[in-house]
Amino acid sequence: MKYNNEIHKRRTFAIISHPDAGKTTLTEKFLLFGGAIQTAGAVKSNKIKKHATSDFMEIERQRGISVATSVMSFEYKNTLINLLDTPGHKDFAEDTYRTLTAVDSVILVVDSVNGVEEQTRRLMEVCRMRDTPVIVFINKMDRDGKNRFDLLEEIEKELNISLHPMTWPINSGKDFKGVYNLHDKNLLLFTANTKATDEDTVSISDLSLPVLDEKIGEKDAAILREDAELLEGVYGELPVPDYLSGKVAPVFFGSAINNFGVKEMLDTFIRIAPVPRPRPTSVRDIPPTDDKFSGFIFKIHANLDPKHRDRIAFLRVCSGKFERNKYFHHVRLDKDVRFSNPYTFMARDKDVIEEAFPGDVVGLFDTGNFKIGDTLTEGENFFFTGIPSFSPEIFKEVINKDPMKTKQLEKGLLQLTDEGVAQLFTQFGGNKKIIGCVGDLQFEVIQYRLLQEYGASCEFRAMPYYKACWITSADPKKLDDFTRFKSNNIATDKDGHLVYLAQSEWFLNTERSNNPDIEFHFTSEIHKEAV
């Protein structure tokens, strides 16, 4: 309990969305409010050479998309905020799923023009699995989009969550005049291409006052009065416990690119968002107030600085105090390790820290000791659960184009797949390397990074597989027979676990019914036996 003050100061969350909904722009606006950056970057503008602060890989800067989760810490109103910006692109969904295991709450960005999109649904399903508290930011209100009531209905229906509007828009597109804050009872006026200031805020405790007509016109004032009365009757005050249990999502409207409506959300976020929460382990739930340190690795990033060939493992602190140069127990390797230069991040900028507390994300320089899901403790043997590796959907064989660079290729494949962007399988009894990914874009990223960072040139040949299943059996002989008979479809993953590569759903179902003694698993979670 001695770190209570530190725990209550911290909020750790991720921003999630469909690509192009404005997530990276929103991230930058948060950093501006926190004083962490002075000017916003431009992700896709060719005229401006500054890029989004959070997109730190070369390929991201070239293509204007986020393909790796980046971590940023900043202070706002005496609250230390750890913000994880996630890839929006569906091909990198697995990285985002794992990131969601390291946060306590989520801000979901929805594009008011396109509404709920496919990736939004998938991300929300992961939040539902964990009852993660969600705040919704409906972005791009300055563009012609869907009707605000229709949008709320669509989000509730598609994402299976109850919404609670906290601000309410006055028109949209070219007629967008601003938002009314239903909680603070004030009006925030919008002027295109200008940043919102305190002068744009008008306190209106009673909407019947004539000042409303003066500010937004009689017609819009009448509509706002009607809407506000309806919303007040339906929703009332926000039930904060329902938000914390993931049942209700507060909703804010705005325009991230114009920095409009963002501050209202950030102020509400630090007021209601959860402090670091307990985490499930193989032994018990570990509360953040536990005196002894514990944490887990949820992401690994190789070559953050191409000049130094560094690997950084991202650690989420779950309990106790992390200290620089102190020995901690690496549970999987059963050895003690210490870190002389642990970092906190401001996108690509790193600062060495002396200590960190529950909720913090620390970057650890890694020489190859870590895998995703690894647990560090102050001596106790347990591991944090619920950090999955999913079955890939696309499989390609790696063809080495330069035999002189075989070592570099193998090293690159191992390091890049350690990051979790893809999975590496070796054909049983052979040497054929097969990469499994969720989407095609990952193969592009791997090919690009192998060449740029390791000098290894390769191409990929499509393999006719439908799914990878980890296989186990209580009867070692049955497992041995199965792998021998099906050797063309058997591979091992990086940890040496057996994997069955099924050509189709029919083949998979046939093998499952013909081999009742063998269990087929769709994630690798099952291999974490109690230590």
- Biggest CA-to-CA distance, the chain: 84
Residue 87 annotated as lining a ligand binding site: yes
Residue 363 annotated as lining a ligand binding site: no
339-364: burial string, b at 16+ Cβ within 10 Å, e else: beebbbbbbeebeebeebbbbbbbbb
Residue 19 annotated as lining a ligand binding site: yes
Residue 86 annotated as lining a ligand binding site: yes
Residue 464 annotated as lining a ligand binding site: no
At residue 286, φ and ψ (nearest 5 deg) are -100, 115
Query: How does DSSP assign 304-324, residue by residue?
Result: SSTTTT-EEEEEEEEES-EET
Residue 18 annotated as lining a ligand binding site: yes
Of the CA atoms within 13 Å of residue 506, those in its CB half-sphere come to: 0
Residue 405 annotated as lining a ligand binding site: no
Burial category of 114 from C-beta neighbours within 10 Å (exposed 0-12, middle 13-18, buried 19 and up)? middle
Residue 403 annotated as lining a ligand binding site: no
Residue 50 and residue 66: Cα distance in Å, rounded?
15
At residue 313, φ and ψ (nearest 5 deg) are -100, 130
Residue 203 annotated as lining a ligand binding site: no
Residue 24 annotated as lining a ligand binding site: yes
List % helix, strand, coil for the chain (3-state, nearest 5).
30, 30, 40
Burial category of 436 from C-beta neighbours within 10 Å (exposed 0-12, middle 13-18, buried 19 and up)? buried
Residue 400 annotated as lining a ligand binding site: no
Which residues, at least 6 apart from 503, have a Cβ–Cβ distance to it below 8 Å? 464, 465, 466, 489
Spatial contact of 152 and 159, defined as CB atoms under 8 Å apart: no
Query: How does DSSP assign 320-386, residue by residue?
Result: S-EETT--EEETTTTEEE--SS-EEEETTEEEE-SEE-TT-EEEEE-SS---TT-EEESS----B--
**What residues form the annotated binding site for GTP?**
17-24, 85-89, 139-142
**What residues form the annotated binding site?**
17-24, 85-89, 139-142
